[in-house]
Amino acid sequence: MKQNQSKSKSQSGVGKSRGVAQRGAAHNEGRLPRVCIIGAGCSGMAAAKALKDEGIPFDCYEKGSDIGGLWRFGNDNGVSNIYESLHINTHRDRMEYRDYPMPDDYPDYPSHRLIFSYFQDYARKFGLYNHIQFNTSVEHVEPEPDGTYSVSLSDGRQIHYDSVMVANGHHWSERWPDPMYPGQKNFKGIQFHAHRYVDPEKPHNLVGKNVLVVGMGNSAMDIAVELSRPGLARNVFLSGRRGAYVFPKYLFGKPFDKLTEAFPVWVPFWFKEMVASLIFRIAVGKMSDFGLPDPDFGLGQAHPTISNEILGRFGSGDIKFRRGIQSMDARSIRFEDGSMEEIDAIVWCTGYNVSFPFFDEQFLSAPDNALPLFHRAIQPERPGICFVGLLQPLGPVMPLSEAQSKWYAKYLTGKYALPSVDYMNRYMEAEQKEMQKRYVSSARHTMQVDFELFLSELDKECSKGMKRAEKTGQPVNIPPLAHNYPEIRASRSGRSSQNGKSGKRGHEKRKASVARR
C-alpha cells in the first residue's frame, strides 16, 4: 500500500525549524570511513540515506537553503533552474525511490511542485535534514598521499574525508554552440540558454516576438509548445539538425514509459526495438507526416523525446519546423533548407556540460562529457570517489541513484568487495563499445544506460561482490584515517586557525600530490 504523505507540510518548507546539522553516524568515527556528500538533490539524498542506514559517518553539503536540487523551483543555490510549467516525463511509479513510494493521489506525471514536496517528505521521513549543511558549498577537493581527501568549504573550513560521493548533478552547466555559427556574434536579438527559461516573460519577455527554439530534446519541445499558445509569442520556430522520434506520454491509454516493463531484462535490444518501432508506427506515424524530418537512426538509438502536444502544434501550424542553422546576421537566421526568418529571440536548448568545479581538471574531469565509470559510479583506480546519478537512463534517475548509493555503502562497510581493476576496465570497455554501437554519437549519449538492464546488472554485481567479501572476512575497503586530522577553520583574515598558514598557501602545497593520485 502506498503512503499518502501530507502535502501541506511539504509545501510550507521546513527551513525555519532546522537546527545545526550533525554528522551522520558520528559514533562510528574511526571504525568506518568518513564520507563527504556533495549536493542534496535527488541523488545526494539517496546517498545520505544509504550511508545513514549502514551507520557510515558522513556530512552532506548543499549550496542552497533546502534539498531538491534541480526540482526545487527558484532554487537559491545559483546553479539549478527549472521552468514553471515543468512536469516529469516518466511515470511516477518508475521515478519514485524504491524505499519510499509516491502518494497514491499523485497524478501519473506530477508537476515539479509535487515532486519537490515528495523529496521534502522523503528527507523528513528518514531524518536527512539533520545531517545536511545548507548554504555551504564544496569549493575544492584535494587528494592526500595517504588516500584521504581534504575538502575546502565556502565557510572557510577544511575537513578531511576518507571518501567523497559526488552528487552535484549534470543539468546546470550550460552547453552552447561551439564553435559559434557564422554571424552569431552579430545577432542583435535576445539569446539565452533553456537553463534560464522560467516562463514566457522571464528571464526575457517573449510575448509578441518571433522566437526560435533550437534543439530536439524534451526542454525544446516543452518551451516551444508553451510559447506557441494563443496570446504569447507571435511566431515560434523549432530548429533541429536531425530528426527525433517524439513519443506521447500515453499509448493505447497506458503510460508510454511503463510499456517497457512488459519486456523481461533478458530480451535482446534488437527485438525490443523492432516491437517498439511497429507500435510507434501504428500509434503515432511517421515524423514526416507532421513536417518533421524522419530520423536517420533507429527508435532506441537516441534519448527519447516525449511530448503530448508538440505534434498537434505542428499540425495546426502554431509551430513551424526549420532545419539546422546555417548562418546569422543582426536580425535574421538562415537555415540549412535555404529558408530565412526574422527572429527576435533565440532559446538555445543545446544541452549541458558535465562539470566538477571542485576538482582540479588534471585530477578529474569529463572532456566532451565522457567519463568512463564502473557501473557509472567508480573509477577503478580511485574507489574513494563515487559518482551518484551521473548517467542518462532511458527512464528516471532516482531509482538508479538509490541503487548505486546502497551498493557503494556496502563497499564502504566491507560487506561488498570490488572485482579486480583489470576486470573493471574490461567491463567498462565492453559497455562503452556497446553503447557507442547502439547510440547516435553525441555528447548527450556518453552516459546513456537502459533503466531495467542497469538495475539488473548492478544487482548481480552486488551479489557477486558480497560473496567475494565473505571469502576475505569483510575487511573495511577504505581505511578510516580522516578522523586523525583536525578540522581547520580559516579566520576572517584568511589565515588558518589551526596552524596559522594561509589557506591559499596550504592549497598550493597540497596541489603537488594531484599528479601522483
- Please write the tens of the pLDDT for every residue from 134-146: 999 999 999 999 9
> Which of 55-59, 63-67, 287-291, 500-504 is the least confident region?
500-504
Residue 502's pLDDT is what? 36
| HSE, side-chain direction, 13 A CA sphere, residue 196 | 15
Nearest CA among 62, 61, 72 for reference residue 11: 72
Residue 394's pLDDT is what? 77
DSSP string, 54-96: HT--EEEE-SSSSS-GGGSTT-TTSS----TT-B-SS-HHHHS
- Please write the tens of the pLDDT for every residue from 72-83: 999 999 999 999
Residue 498's pLDDT is what? 53
Considering only residues 499 and 81, tell me which one the structure prediction assigns the higher pLDDT: 81
Residue 175's pLDDT is what? 95
Residue 510's pLDDT is what? 39
Give the span between the Cα atoms of 333 and 156, in whole angstroms: 48
Taking all residues of the chain, what is their mean pLDDT, rounded to a whole number? Answer: 89
Considering only residues 470 and 262, tell me which one the structure prediction assigns the higher pLDDT: 470
Q: Report the share of the chain in percent with pLDDT over 90.
A: 73
Residue 314 has pLDDT above 80, yes or no: yes
Residue 507's pLDDT is what? 42
Residue 508's pLDDT is what? 40
Average pLDDT (77-101) is 95
Average pLDDT (47-62) is 98
- Please write the tens of the pLDDT for every residue from 262-302: 788 888 888 888 888 898 899 899 999 999 999 988 887 78
Confidence band of 505 (pLDDT split at 50, 70, 90): very low
Q: Is the N-terminal amide bond of 399 cis, ω within 30° of 0?
A: no
Average pLDDT (184-209) is 97
- Please write the tens of the pLDDT for every residue from 217-252: 999 999 999 999 999 999 999 999 888 999 999 988
> Which of 18-22, 161-165, 377-381, 508-512 is the least confident region?
508-512
Give the span between the Cα atoms of 169 and 42, in whole angstroms: 9
Residue 140's pLDDT is what? 98
Domains of the chain: 32-172+353-484 (3.50.50.60), 176-350 (3.50.50.60)
CA angle in degrees (0–180, nearest 5) for 226-230-232: 60
Confidence band of 17 (pLDDT split at 50, 70, 90): very low
CA distances from 47 to 30, 59, 166, 419, 454 (A): 20, 11, 9, 22, 18
Residue 513 has pLDDT above 70, yes or no: no
> Which of 42-46, 87-91, 391-395 is the least confident region?
391-395
Residue 8 has pLDDT above 70, yes or no: no
Residue 370 has pLDDT above 70, yes or no: yes
Residue 4 has pLDDT above 80, yes or no: no
Residue 517 has pLDDT above 50, yes or no: no
Residue 497's pLDDT is what? 52
Average pLDDT (53-67) is 98
Confidence band of 258 (pLDDT split at 50, 70, 90): confident
Considering only residues 154 and 5, tell me which one the structure prediction assigns the higher pLDDT: 154
Work out whether strand 254-255 and strand 305-306 pair parallel, antiparallel, or are unpaired: unpaired
Q: Which long-range contacts (CB under 8 A, 24 or more apart) does 282-289 make?
A: 283/248, 283/251, 283/252, 284/246, 284/247, 284/248, 284/311, 287/243, 287/244, 287/245, 287/246
